[in-house]
Each structure stands twice: as C-alpha cells, then as structure tokens.
Chains A and B, each alone.
Chain A
Amino acid sequence: MTEAIAPVRPAPALAVEGLTYTYPNAFRPALADVSLTLGAGEFALLAGRSACGKSTLLRAACGLVPHFHGGEIEGGVSVAGIDAIATGPGDLAAAVGYVAQDPETQVVSTTVAAEIELPLEMRGEPCISRARAVEEVALALAIPHLLRRTVDTLSGGELQRVALAAALVTRPKLVLLDEPTSQLDPVAGDELIWLLRRLNEEWGVAILLAEHRLERCLAAADRVIAMDTGAIAFDGAPTDFLAWAQDTDTALETPAARLFSLADITPLPTGVRDARRTLTSKEAGAGERVGGPGGALGFSPLSGRLSPTRRGEKQDAAHHQDPRPSSNATAVELRNLWIELNSADQVRDVVRGVDLRIGRGERVALMGRNGAGKSTLLRTIAGLVDPVRGKIDAPGGIALLTQNPSDYLVRERVGDELPGEEGRAALRVVGLEHAVEADPRDLSGGERQRLALAIALAGRMEGEDLPGLVALDEPTRGMDRARKHELVELVEALADRGAGVVVATHDVEFAAAFAERVVLLGDGVVIADGSAAEVLSGGWYFATEVARILDLPGVVTPEQGAAALAEDLG
C-alpha cells in the first residue's frame, strides 16, 4: 500500500510575530507590535518615511537586534525556520544576508576575494568549496575582475556590490538591504535593483529591500510593506500600495503614480512599462493610432500625436517654474579646468578641460555617474583641491556643503557651533533658531543638514557678504520626499537672495524639482548643459520617470506631464 506523500511546505523566509523592540535608553519603542510573513522567493519593498523603523526591522531580521544592540524585545522573529532571537547573527548568517546603507563600514578585509570568502572561512568551509563559492557569486554579480583588487581602490557602487556578494556567498534564503542605492548613480542603482530581481528569480532568494526612491524598485517588487512610527501601516501588492499612498501619505507616491493621479487616470502604474501600457490602451480606446515615430525607446505613447508647434509650446511651458532671467553677475566661471587625482597607484585626469559659467541666482544640478568628477569639481572650486591647469573665477566666494553634513558638527551644543548674534542670524535663515541649546546629534537628518549649511554660511548671510556660489554635494542621501521638499525650499530661498546654487546629485527627481539648469558630466567633461526640462527629458538614465513615460521634450515633472496628458487625451 502506498501512502500519498504530503508536499513539504518550506518555512517562510521571514516570520515576525508581535515584535516590539526598544533601543537601550530610548523612551519609546522603535518597533511596535510588528507581524509579517515573507514567503520563500518573495521580493518585498519596505517603504516609509525616515526613522519609521525600517532599518530596525531589518536589523531584527538578521539578529543584530537585540544581540548586538541590546534593548528590550518582545515577540518572535524566525528566519527560514531558525529562531533569530535565540540565535546570534553569526549563526543566522547562513540563512540571511544583510547589506547596510554605508558600504565603507561593511568591508573588513583588504582584498575583495578575502572579503567575500570570509563568511565561509568563519564556518570552516574547506578551501576548495570556498574558492568555488567566491567564483560563482562573483560571476553572478559581474565582479570577477574585482576579486584581486584591494577594497580601498573601489568606487561606492563597486563596494556595494562586494558587500552584496559577501552577503550572498553563503547562499542565504533571505537577503535584507537597507537603502542600497542611496549612494549610486541612476545607472548603477537600476543595475543593482534588476540584479536583485534576477537573483530572486533564478536563485529563489527572498528579498526585503528598504528604499526611499520607490520609483526605482516598485516595478521589481512583488509586495510592498509600508511602515509608520514603528508599526506596519500597509502590506499588499504594489498597485494597492499606490492607491493607499494616494489616500494616506502622498510623500510615498512615485512620480508615475502622481502623474496618473493628477491626470485622473487609473490604474496607477508601478513603473514606466506599466504606465506606457495603460496610456497606449487609453489612446487605443480613444480611437487613436497607437505608437508613432520618434521616442528614444522606439515607442512613445504621445510623441507621434503632438504637432511640432504644440511640442514647442509644451517645452516652453515646461521650462522650469519661474525661470529666472539669466544673471549677468557671475557666481563662478571655470576656464579650461584640468584636475588630476592619484588613485590606485596611478594619476588620473578627473576633470578634463571644463569650461563653465554659473550666474548669481541660478539653480544648477550637476549630474553624472559615480566617478564622473562632480565632487572633485566642487571641491576644486572651493579650494580644497588644486587644479593642474585652467582658471577659476569666483568673485563672491563659495560656500560648500560636502556629502556628510555631520563633518561640520564637532561640538555638543548648536549654540557653540554658531556663537554670537551672527550665529543666531545664520540659524534663523535655516529655521533652527529654536535649537540653540540642542545637541547636534539629537537633530533629525534634515535639521543636521540645515545646521551644517548655516555653519558654512555663518557671517556671510546678508547682502554683499552672501557667497556668490553655494554648492551642495549629494545632499539627498537617505532623505525621504518630505525632507527633499524642505531642501528644495531652502535652495530656492538662497537663490532668491542672489546666490548661485549648484547641487551635485544622482537624484533626477530632486533635480527636476529644484533646478532650472542641468550640467551633465561624463568622464570629466561636460557632455550636456541646458535647461532642466531639456536635459532631464532627453535620455534613458538621466531622465525623470515622467520623462521616460511620456518621452515629450521638456516634460519632466508629474505636474507638467499631467498638463500634457490633459491636453492630449482630453
């Protein structure tokens, strides 16, 4: 007699049951009664505003909470059937891989090969199987050429891949990633997300990804979990999440969803392909010809339907909100600027013969892939790096806010950083006059950034003292949309006072929100320089989500897109 074999159900990749956690010395819990189950092979996106508990949940899932951080914990967490609260993170690492936000502190070895091999070595794996695992994970992540390199010669994107490889080398059932694209350019960010999707599909690895720039990864996800003040506020499919965000928290809307929401089109799209498909069906329903010539992708829902005159009108209309008349006063002028840096035993031309003029009152986004020379250019203008050739003319001086605002905060009281009446004036300008007695470390990320800007501008806030150029280097790392909006207002206020403002950024949506001009650097040379509307609607990677959907010259923001759609479909 044969018995029917019952199918074995694999343990969920992650099961969290009634989890409440409070950090040591904290007054309120970082996680409050969180319950969720992530099935084997699922790809889930963890969304929510800054400090809502995303990182803490990820740390609980890999065992760092409570084993490493301490604190009080209630409830249960299990990873692939292993009790994460009873087991330490070292033992859990065979079942779960964790990649944190800052790649600098995630590498502990000297060479890439040793870094990837370390988790296996710690488990006493034999040399031959270690070598095979390192080779396979390197191939999967397209980094075999990096294996012999030392980690201090890698770019941020390469380091992030190495950290991911070290997390994957034990072939875990679950991979946790905390804002892995925050330091990557649009190209590297997109590559990483689709790499995760491929690993998820081919290896069956469950992925839990915390991210602010949802437009980058929503289309790749099977499910979205949104958190609010330590609790789960939403758990469902991406399309349902967009409808929830529209009703509950518009700061979590993607630009594509905002476009459709403003144009009153349903269903809300999870990505560019989804949006184009919906628009095509709308056009077909309206009896129009589908597709048309032109469009960077060989297909454009609308470009075939707009007459050249109307397209031109749209471009003018879309030219950024209140385009400032080009100022005659120069904020900075670069002539034939060449900059060399030493890297990995060789001297490299980072900036090659750049000519650039920025006027006072202009808002400029400086864009380009990792290593294109953006930060080096700003540091050179600020006098931190000497050019090898060329001339820099900055008649009003420059105030530079470098990538990490915490570098400016060296005292334990805000008032000690900015003493005297002029210090108070600087705090007033950035809206921090109430925080004089606070410890800078207790401020939120956005407040810390404003304080750092006030320190850079202290004594130069008024009239002729205001620097001709205010430069910010990657200011939106790890910021949610609400904080980015505050930053846009600050940039506009500085430009209104007469400073030229240049922001080096990878965030195309942020650039579209604040900039009237975009300068695109590629391999140390300026490869595009024009209005934000023109540059951000003319490509694949350095283009906003709305621009990629509509492919209309000059249309980059959801508001501009909605106006174009209303005119075209209405």
Chain B
Amino acid sequence: MRSPFAYTPRPGPLQAASPSAAVAYLGSLVVVAFVYSNPFVLAAVGVAAGLAGRLAGAGGAVRAAIKLGLAIALPIVVVNALVVSRGETVLARLGEWPLFGQVDVTAEAIADGCIFGLRAVVVMIAFAVYSACVDPDRVLRALRPLAGRSALTATLISRLVPVAAADASRLRDAGRLRGPRAAPLGRAALVRRLLAGSLDRSVDVAATLELRGYGLDAPMSAECDDCGRRPRFDTRFYAVGTLVLTAAVAAKLAGADQFDAYPTVGVGIGAATVALSALLVVAGFAPWQPRSRSARGRGTVDD
C-alpha cells in the first residue's frame, strides 16, 4: 500500500514550482511555527499549511499528518504534565513517583505541553505537504551540482527505503506462512535478514546508478536553466514566503508573540497577533489556481 506522504505528480502551482520556491514557501511557515509560541499564530500556520496541501491536491497527506501529529502530540502533553511541576493551578497531586519525584499536574504545564504538541502537528503538516507535492527527483537534481556524493547517498536512500519496506512486509508475510514445526521467524532473525537483503539490494541499485552514469562528473546545469525558463509559479511562492517572514519579524517586534505558560497562562490577542494570523491564513491560498479560460468555456484548444 502506498504511503499517503509519497510524492504524486499532479497539475498545480506548488508541484510546478521549483523545489527551492516550494521550500521557501513551506519553510517560511515552519520558521514561524518554531519562532512563535502564541497558539493563535500556531493554529494559523497549521490552517495555512493544511489549506496549501488541500489546494495542491494533497488532502490525504494532510489528514495523515494530522493523525500522526496528534499521536505524537498526546504523549508530549502527558509527559510535560508529569515532568514539569511549575504553575500555580495544581489540578492533581500524584505523590512521589520513581524517577519523576514529586508529581504535581498543573494546568500551566498541560497548556505548555499543548503548545509543544500543536507545534509538532503544524510542522508535520508542512512536511507532509512538502513530501506529497515536491518532486524528489528535482530536489536531488538541484543538489547534485552542489554536493554530488550527498546526492548519491540521498538517491540510494530514497530508493532503498521503499524497497526495504516492501522487503520487510514480504518477510513478515513469509513468517506468518511458516509451518508449525519450522523455527519461528523471530525479530532478531528478521532484522538480520533484512539488513543482509538491504545490502544485496543496495548493490543492485548502486550497479544501476553506475550504469546510468552517476560516476561521471555531475553536470553544472542541473535544473532547466539551459532552457532559459524559470518555472512559472516560482515568483509567487518566493514572494509569499518573503512576505510571511517579513510580517513575522515585524509582528514579533510589535509584540505579537505574547504567550506565557508560567506561573499562570497568559495569551495576548493584540492587533499584531490578529493581523499576522490573518496574513498566515491568506498565505495558505498561495497554491490556489483559478480555472483555466478553456475550462470556463471561453475558448477551446484544438491540437
């Protein structure tokens, strides 16, 4: 079964943009998520990333990222509540725990954990959109002239990870099909066999790379620069990314990131916070593409 995060070619501005433009756009959202702790701003980043994924046709990846993010966020909240005893609003005194010491669960620690969890979910969504919409071949092609060996390693890994996953799935199936008197599969035997198989596989993939000419000197012109064309939507994503970062810095200077977890929770909802949040949500529309003229029936194209 295909991973929801796997890249799928689709028509759309985000897929058509160069990897660097897509990274500039999605990266600006991730930077804001790391720089800000205000829940409204973080939620706005999450909405923007989700909206961008939805408009780029990667709704499945966004949903999977939310599920995965929540599965990571929940333990973060629980652990933070157990290990941090700061905060004035004590909800429960759980006494002395081995390793943890005195455990007091406070509303502030839970709120702080929620911020960490929300940040994890938001970053996960942005990476899911990147993974589902940005062609890894173009990324590697862009990397090759800069770092040939690293690109080779990345290519091997990007190819071997799905192959190893398929191998592991097959080995587990074969393990379930062993007769009752055959030695059971066992985790150690499975891992050992998988590693040995991966080595064989990597030799085969490396041989293919060798035949394709990977050992030759990497050409200097990697992306389609020699065609003299810049991908059509690059300007839009660079502009939105720059705008988001500039606004984030300006809003920070204007005090938009008001959030204190301790000793009591305090969230600032000033004009700067609202304006930045609104701008972030609007930035989520960057991958939007209006229907083409021919699709609206104004004209037809005969090939």
Chain A residues within 8 Å of B, Cβ to Cβ: 62, 64, 67-68, 88-91, 93, 98, 100, 102, 104-111, 114, 118-119, 121-124, 126-128, 148-150, 152-153, 166-167, 341-345, 379, 382-384, 399-402, 404, 406-411, 416-420, 422-423, 426, 455-460
Contact = CB atoms under 8 A, between A and B. Distances in A.
Contacts of A384: 173, 176-177
**10 tightest CB-CB pairs across the interface, nearest first?**
A459-B181, A122-B213, A458-B179, A124-B219, A114-B137, A105-B204, A407-B174, A458-B182, A459-B180, A422-B181
B182 A417 contact: yes
B227 interface: yes
Contact of A68 (B138, B174, B210): B210
Interface string B103-115: 0000000000000
B288 interface: no
Contacts of B197: 406
A123 B2 contact: no
A460 B212 contact: no
A122 B208 CA distance: 13
B219 A123 contact: yes
A400 B174 CA distance: 9
Given A423-B182, A458-B179, A105 B136 contact: no
B249 interface: no
Interface stretch (B76-84, B90-98, B187-195, B250-258): B187-195
A109 B174 CA distance: 28
6 contacts: A93-B213, A344-B2, A456-B179, A456-B182, A458-B181, A460-B181
Nearest to A104: B163
B259 to A, nearest CB: 39
Interface in B209-257: 209-216, 218-222, 224, 226-227
B99 interface: no
Contact of B159 (A98, A108, A402, A459): A108
B173 A407 contact: yes
B205 interface: yes
Given A110-B7, A418-B181, A455-B182, A122 B174 contact: no
A417 B183 contact: yes
B185 to A, nearest CB: 6
Contact of B213 (A90, A150, A402, A408): A90
Interface of A is mostly: mixed
Contacts, number: 179
Contacts of B209: 108
A4 to B, nearest CB: 41
A55 B84 CA distance: 64
Given A114-B137, A407-B170, A410-B193, A93 B211 contact: yes
A98 B216 CA distance: 17
B260 interface: no
Nearest to B167: A407
B15 to A, nearest CB: 10
A108 B158 CA distance: 8
Contact of A111 (B60, B135, B208): B135
A342 B2 contact: yes
A423 to B, nearest CB: 6
B193 to A, nearest CB: 4
Given A342-B1, A379-B173, A399-B177, A127 B183 contact: no
A119 B213 contact: yes
Nearest to A408: B174
A430 B50 CA distance: 57
Contacts of B189: 410-411
A124 B186 CA distance: 49
A111 B2 contact: no
B137 A110 contact: yes
B9 A89 contact: no
B204 A102 contact: yes
Given A127-B224, A148-B9, 10 more contacts: A93-B212, A108-B209, A119-B212, A124-B219, A128-B226, A341-B1, A345-B8, A409-B193, A456-B177, A458-B181
Contacts of A343: 2
Contacts of A123: 213, 216, 219
Nearest to B193: A410
B6 interface: yes
Contacts of A457: 179
A455 B137 contact: no
A423 B170 contact: no
A458 B180 contact: yes
Nearest to B138: A114
A126 B221 CA distance: 8
B9 A150 contact: yes
Nearest to A97: B211
A402 B173 contact: yes
A420 B174 contact: no
Nearest to B171: A407
Contact of B179 (A102, A399, A407, A416): A399
**By CB atoms of chain A within 10 A, which of B208, B224, B226 has the most?**
B208
B2 A153 contact: yes
A259 B158 CA distance: 50
B205 A108 contact: yes
